[in-house]
A and B are shown apart, each in its own frame.
Chain A
């Protein structure tokens, strides 16, 4: 497991919003919920590759902007009856900053 990398300050992501991080492992969507929890997912919907970072965040779910797939932020899994899973990345909020661990 690699080190925690600082991504940005927490307040540089809007609550119920997201930012895109370009990494050696592709684009990673970092989400911030209304309760300030942060999550990281590969920015690619398991359905047709839509950018999940551009979706609407509600609770701990994001709705893909392309065809409305709902993806759980915690596990990256599509909400039934849809199927599929987006790769997860470890993310934490600490000391006012957001940190990411690459797989």
Chain B
């Protein structure tokens, strides 16, 4: 079958009516595909769904907490019946499709119900593997797959004592844990020498076993079951092994693996080989028929975890919607065991093998084990037990295949990307009680997050942010929220793709791709960029427009025109909006120096406009808070008369250059840090950047200006200056990294200017220098700024070119009526009748 026939475009075939999409399988994969389809093309199809179970789509992976008594069935429903009705989806529950007539293009259910299709989506899932042993059909012998099985286990636990779970994998252990919590005496029987051999190496599995034994579970490893024995009541009563040992069993749960459910596809003569065979677009050998989920074999692999199924669903929906651009190329797997209180994570190739190196941390007494598997300077797999805080980060490194050469020596110690402040120093979500505050900005507790994840069926960080607001402000607690998400949804969790993450919901393109297109295609306006990059929304959103505006004006200075309506209000109004809608004004003080006349002018303004609060900013400048927007141009006119200009305390831009007293006065000073600071701040005036930029110049290594936590830190030494870059004193304190040593003031300007220009050209919008350098590597920065004098000079010149002729935005508002309109309130002449 090499000549594959492409299905004719739908609308040609069936003009006048909507084509029919029939979905066989009302589970997580099938319905996710429908959801993704509705997002892309809500009205393209008449959709009908067949489900063999009598329930709407529910979150199968949360059956374990239901069994454990931590949740109820109602809690885990993902799409209530109303959802099907709201989206005009026909739903048959409790109806098994038994036949596909590919010639007549219809499906037939066991009760004779027929539905015609133009496109068919098979999402039939998998069936549990039942051991071919005598007694496998006795009452009391069940598998663990659906709500019915779960109900049976709960019922058995209430009336019977001895449970045996056959299979020490993920599912078997979760079943065993649940039955134990329901009061049964539970033995786990496993054929292999250690538990979860597909997800864990022996060392981690042994720690897991010890910890589960402490909870009262029993284990029989390397045991082969020979038969299940019937008791007098007719129900199973015992289990016999090959070696003759017999153990009592009133309930036997078979959790020895799953098999893709291909019977329907095979009966329709669709090609199957350990699953329904699909190509990278999730299409089967019949071009009208697609398949997703556990029933599918893609490139020879059938997946049994949820995260890959979601990726498949997204690709499938893209093709069903006639977009035709997505491809599924397989998934790297990660696993998390959902047994409350046990932290276990594995990803990728954790067993190692030829050509791989391992980094291992083993602390049996402390209950922590970590193994990282490396190959050719990339991380290929990880197993974490007892401390899984960095699981998401390792998983991302595995998926991205990122070169870890530079960070190899501290790779084992994790990313530590949880911020330093705002959550009481807690870095491990699993040990937190439900009432512990996770997000300090929005006051969200762990319990709120868990509840929202379960109630709304959330799977991604973005969804959790939307629903709870946790981690949506400063982002400091993102690592914690990700941990909570991972431990709540287990295998369904996919960390956000940091490399190819779309800019926002308006586009599928990443920041990097959009930036490149703006440069390559010489795009000059936001509408032009949106059109070229096929934006999905007519005028973007509050997240992509400011980014696009920055990319345009930084890539094409002097050509692309700034769009004030695509700037956040602070940059549009040139002042900082406060919670009551008033603004704060920070006049620039070059290098932190001021004069009596400037201070007098500031004091006069504060009196004249009744400024309620006057304070010093973190960057050591004077802040006038509580000014009405209407008064801003008047305040600026007064400040301007005293020679002061905008301090840009409101922008993704150069903020301040902080200085110490230095050699001008200080008895320890080796360099004139104030003068150097003034030179830098004057050079950088008007510099817009991906995020705010702060500098500091200290006159000696005592470093009173705190240059070690600045985007660019300059430290005077006897023979010149040391330059440090990519420091940060905010959410996550990052110590700046040493860039190089230079001799003269002019070199300080050239090197730091070149570094900042590189950041301006390569940084993604809202990426601070510390995140930028972490992404590209300090070696990359050094190669351009330190090692290559030609490149450095070019960067420096491009920066100076972009900054030439920059005018003080405050005086523009004072002098240009069109600009001033932004600040004026319209007063109505109301006529009362």
Which residues of A are in contact with B by a Cβ distance under 8 Å? 2-3, 5, 7-8, 12, 14-17, 19-24, 27, 30, 33-34, 48-51, 54-59, 61, 63, 65-68, 70, 81, 100, 102
Bound form: Cα–Cα A20–B564 in Å: 17
Contact B830 A24 (CB under 8 A): yes
Nearest neighbor of B467 in chain A, beta-carbon distance: A81
Q: Tell me if B325 counts as interface (CB < 8 A to partner A).
A: no
Residues of B in contact with A, size category: 35 or more
Stretch of B110-118, B354-362, B423-431, B538-546 with 4 or more beta carbons under 8 angstroms from chain A: B538-546
Contact B826 A22 (CB under 8 A): yes
Contact B577 A66 (CB under 8 A): yes
Chain A residues closer than 8 Å to B537, beta-carbon distance: 58-59
Q: Tell me if B367 counts as interface (CB < 8 A to partner A).
A: no
Contact B466 A57 (CB under 8 A): no
Contact B538 A59 (CB under 8 A): yes
Bound form: Cα–Cα A19–B630 in Å: 12
Bound form: Cα–Cα A2–B830 in Å: 10
Contact A59 B539 (CB under 8 A): yes
Nearest neighbor of B582 in chain A, beta-carbon distance: A51
State whether A56 and B545 are in contact (beta carbons under 8 Å apart), knowing that A21-B826, A34-B539 are contacts in the complex. Answer: yes
Bound form: Cα–Cα A30–B821 in Å: 14
Bound form: Cα–Cα A8–B826 in Å: 8
Chain B residues closer than 8 Å to A61, beta-carbon distance: 541
Bound form: Cα–Cα A16–B572 in Å: 13
State whether A22 and B466 are in contact (beta carbons under 8 Å apart), knowing that A56-B566, A56-B568 are contacts in the complex. Answer: no
Contact B545 A54 (CB under 8 A): no
Bound form: Cα–Cα A81–B579 in Å: 23
Shortest distance between the CB of B408 and any CB in chain A (Å) = 39
Contact A56 B826 (CB under 8 A): no
Bound form: Cα–Cα A68–B569 in Å: 12
State whether A81 and B577 are in contact (beta carbons under 8 Å apart), knowing that A19-B826, A63-B542 are contacts in the complex. Answer: no
Q: Which of B467, B542, B828 contacts A22 (CB 8 A)?
A: B828
Chain B residues closer than 8 Å to A57, beta-carbon distance: 539, 565
Bound form: Cα–Cα A50–B808 in Å: 28
Q: Which of B469, B581, B824 contacts A50 (CB 8 A)?
A: B581
Contact A68 B573 (CB under 8 A): no
Contact A3 B565 (CB under 8 A): no
Contact A21 B542 (CB under 8 A): no
Bound form: Cα–Cα A81–B238 in Å: 52
Nearest neighbor of A23 in chain B, beta-carbon distance: B828
Contact A34 B538 (CB under 8 A): yes
If A21-B825, A63-B541 are given as contacts, then 7 extra A-B residue pairs at C-beta distance below 8 Å, sorted by A number, are A2-B833, A5-B830, A49-B581, A56-B566, A59-B538, A65-B577, A70-B542
Within 8 A of A (CB), among B489-533: none
Shortest distance between the CB of A89 and any CB in chain B (Å) = 11
Nearest neighbor of B567 in chain A, beta-carbon distance: A56
Nearest neighbor of A66 in chain B, beta-carbon distance: B579
Q: Tell me if B98 counts as interface (CB < 8 A to partner A).
A: no
Contact B541 A58 (CB under 8 A): yes
Shortest distance between the CB of A19 and any CB in chain B (Å) = 6
Interface code B812-833, partner A: CB below 8 Å = 1, 0 otherwise? Answer: 0000000001001111111101
Chain B residues closer than 8 Å to A17, beta-carbon distance: 564-565
Interface code B790-827, partner A: CB below 8 Å = 1, 0 otherwise? Answer: 00000000000000000000000000000001001111
Nearest neighbor of A17 in chain B, beta-carbon distance: B565
Q: Tell me if B273 counts as interface (CB < 8 A to partner A).
A: no
Nearest neighbor of B527 in chain A, beta-carbon distance: A34
Contact B568 A65 (CB under 8 A): yes
Q: Tell me if B403 counts as interface (CB < 8 A to partner A).
A: no
Q: Tell me if B93 counts as interface (CB < 8 A to partner A).
A: no
Contact A68 B542 (CB under 8 A): yes
Bound form: Cα–Cα A89–B579 in Å: 24
Contact A20 B825 (CB under 8 A): yes
Contact A5 B828 (CB under 8 A): yes
Contact A56 B542 (CB under 8 A): yes
Q: Tell me if B472 counts as interface (CB < 8 A to partner A).
A: yes
Q: Which of B456, B466, B540, B577 contacts A58 (CB 8 A)?
A: B540
| Selected A-B contacts with CB under 8 Å, 18 pairs | A3-B831, A7-B826, A19-B821, A19-B825, A20-B826, A21-B826, A22-B826, A24-B828, A27-B825, A49-B581, A50-B581, A54-B581, A55-B542, A56-B567, A59-B541, A66-B579, A67-B469, A102-B830
Contact A56 B467 (CB under 8 A): no
Bound form: Cα–Cα A102–B567 in Å: 30
Chain A residues closer than 8 Å to B538, beta-carbon distance: 34, 59
Chain B residues closer than 8 Å to A49, beta-carbon distance: 581
State whether A21 and B579 are in contact (beta carbons under 8 Å apart), knowing that A56-B568, A58-B542 are contacts in the complex. Answer: no
Bound form: Cα–Cα A34–B566 in Å: 12
Chain A residues closer than 8 Å to B539, beta-carbon distance: 16, 33-34, 57-59
Bound form: Cα–Cα A3–B545 in Å: 37
Chain B residues closer than 8 Å to A54, beta-carbon distance: 569, 573, 577, 581
Shortest distance between the CB of B773 and any CB in chain A (Å) = 28
Chain B residues closer than 8 Å to A19, beta-carbon distance: 821, 824-826
Bound form: Cα–Cα A57–B573 in Å: 15
State whether A23 and B830 are in contact (beta carbons under 8 Å apart), knowing that A51-B581, A54-B573, A66-B577 are contacts in the complex. Answer: yes
